[in-house]
Structure formats: structure tokens, C-alpha cells
Amino acid sequence: MIIKPIIAGNWKMHKSNDESISFVGKIQKRILDDELTEIIFCPPFTSLFSIVGTLDNSSFSVGAQNVHCDSHGAFTGEISVNMLDSIGVKYVIIGHSERRHIFDESDHFINEKIIAVNSSNLIPIFCIGETLEQRESGLTDKIIKEQIELGMAKLDSIDPKKFIVAYEPVWAIGTGKTASVLQVEDAHLKIKTNLRILFGSKGEEIPVLYGGSVNENNAESLLKVDGVNGFLIGGASLKVDSFCKIIDIVKNFER
Ligand code: PEP
């Protein structure tokens, strides 16, 4: 089964509403409309609504960077699945290492969000990955397995067209240190195996993205790695030139 490549840009806490609109406008002018690749902009909450309104290219969608598991209530500062869905947001990043490590989000809390999103129209981009300390202690496989089992617990069924996993080794995020081709291949193989054990052949069809200092110079070699179905990109997704170059690499890549 051929999995459509996905490129998601995680803008984190960057770009005002005006900057976001102008940025997406520039990208849309450079990237031809085709349905071969899914390109996702994940701006701050304040730009979601306006970006959805500017999209005129069917390759593009909008994703949020976070969501709460409850549908409504006294959760100051939070946002619900329905609120995002109602303005045309299609994806949401869950379990990003910055949420896990800076905001102390546990596997259990992440699982509650995954459950809420999985039963909605939104598609989760579920992030997993080991810290440098865990890798150096030989714990990478264990951490990947645990994060998948705990984060995806209590999901009785899975639609591989409505779920995305992103492997993001914490030590490679925003550091300029990309994981080697062998490290990525090994991790993606383990992820696919874990997903197959949990969800059978459907699990294997879930797209698995690589994230961690992806740029226009390393995108092609990472894309050649077996089991890499696209990228989750931070820094390079904020620059028109870099992001467009990565999109072109993915679009022109022959599997
Ligand atoms: C990220 O934040 O998900 C990420 C991968 O960042 P960067 O590309 O900057 O390493």
C-alpha cells in the first residue's frame, strides 16, 4: 500500500497573524496544486482561523499544536477538539516533546487527548521519541514501545488514513543534530512493528514521519529511509525558501 507523503510544519510560538497569512500566501504561490503530497501548517492558535480562510491549494491543510481532551469546561487557556474542527482545522499535534518535557504532559494525559481526537474529525500527529540520556542508556526501543502502548491505549480500532505518528528523537529537535539514516531506519522499523502488533495490518499503514532538524540538505537522504513517510519540521518550516525546497524534494521523490 502506498502511503501519501506528509510534510507538517510546526511553527511553535512564532509568527503573528499577519506574518502567518503572508507566509502561507508566498508558499501557495510557489507550490503547484496537486494531490500527491499533504502539506500541513501548524501555526499558533491565533493564526488558525485566518490561514484556513486563505487556503486555495488542495495540497494544504491546517493543524493545531495542542488540544484538550475534554469537550468543554473550566480549563483556562485550553481549547477543545470541536472548537478546532468548527473552524476547519484538520490536524493536531499531540505529545510533542516540548509539551512532554516543558509542560510535564504525561503519557496518560496524552492518551486522553488521542482518544478524544480519534473519535472526532481531527487527525492526530502523535509525537514520540527518546531523550539523549535514554538513547545513551540503550533505552530507545523501550521508550518507543512504551510511548506507543501508553499513548495509543484503549483505542479499539484505528483508521490509518486518520492517524499519523511522528518519530522525533528529543536530542535532534532544534539542535541541528539530525539522527543518522541508520538510527532513523531502526526506529521507524520498531515503530511500524509496534503498530502492527497493536493494530494488525492497519497499524502498519499508519504514516510515520521523521522530525528533528530536517532541512533542505538532509531531506532527500532521510526520505530514502525505509518507513519514513514524510516529515514534521520545526525551524525549517518557518522559512519560505527552505520549506518550499523540502516540499519540492518530497514531491519529486520517486519511491
Ligand atoms: C519539531 O519541533 O517538531 C522539530 C522537529 O523541530 P526542528 O525541525 O527545528 O528540529
- Whether 98 maps to a domain, the answer reads yes
All three cell numbers of 185: 531506519
Domain encompassing residue 235 = 6-27+36-240+248-252
Q: Is residue 1 part of a domain?
A: no
User: Which tens digit of pLDDT belongs to each residue from 139-162?
Assistant: 999 999 999 999 999 997 899 999
Residue 141 lies inside a defined structural domain of this protein: yes
Residue 36 confidence (pLDDT): 86
Identify the pLDDT of residue 58: 82
**Ligand 1 atom showing the smallest separation from residue 127 Cα:** 3
- Measured distance CA(57)–CA(35) in Å, rounded: 9
**Which three cell numbers mark 32?**
503547484
Distance in Å, CA 102 to ligand 1 centroid: 15
Judging by beta carbons within 10 Å of its beta carbon (0-12, 13-18, 19+), is residue 50 exposed, middle or buried?
middle
- What pLDDT is stored for residue 33 in this prediction? 81
Q: Is there a domain that residue 173 lies in?
A: yes
Q: Where are the strands (E) in 76-184, listed by range? A: 91-94, 123-128, 164-167
CA pair distance 163, 207, nearest whole angstrom:
7
Q: Is the pTM of this model over 0.75?
A: yes
In the chain, the number of structural domains is 1
3-state secondary structure (DSSP) of residue 73: coil
CA 175 to centroid of ligand 1, rounded, Å: 9
The residues that are catalytic are 96, 168
Please report, in tens digits, the pLDDT of each residue of the chain (255 residues total): 789 999 999 999 999 999 999 999 999 999 988 888 999 999 999 999 999 999 987 899 999 999 999 999 999 999 999 999 999 999 999 999 999 999 999 999 999 999 999 999 999 999 999 999 999 999 999 999 999 999 999 997 899 999 999 999 999 999 999 999 999 999 999 999 999 999 999 999 999 999 999 999 999 999 999 999 999 999 999 999 999 999 999 999 877
Would you say residue 155 lies in a domain? yes
Per DSSP, the residues of 96-113 read -HHHHHTS---HHHHHHH
The finding on whether 9 has its CB within 6 A of some atom of ligand 1 is no
The answer to whether 235 and 216 have CB atoms below 8 angstroms apart is: no
CATH code for position 180:
3.20.20.70
Domain annotation covers residue 130: yes
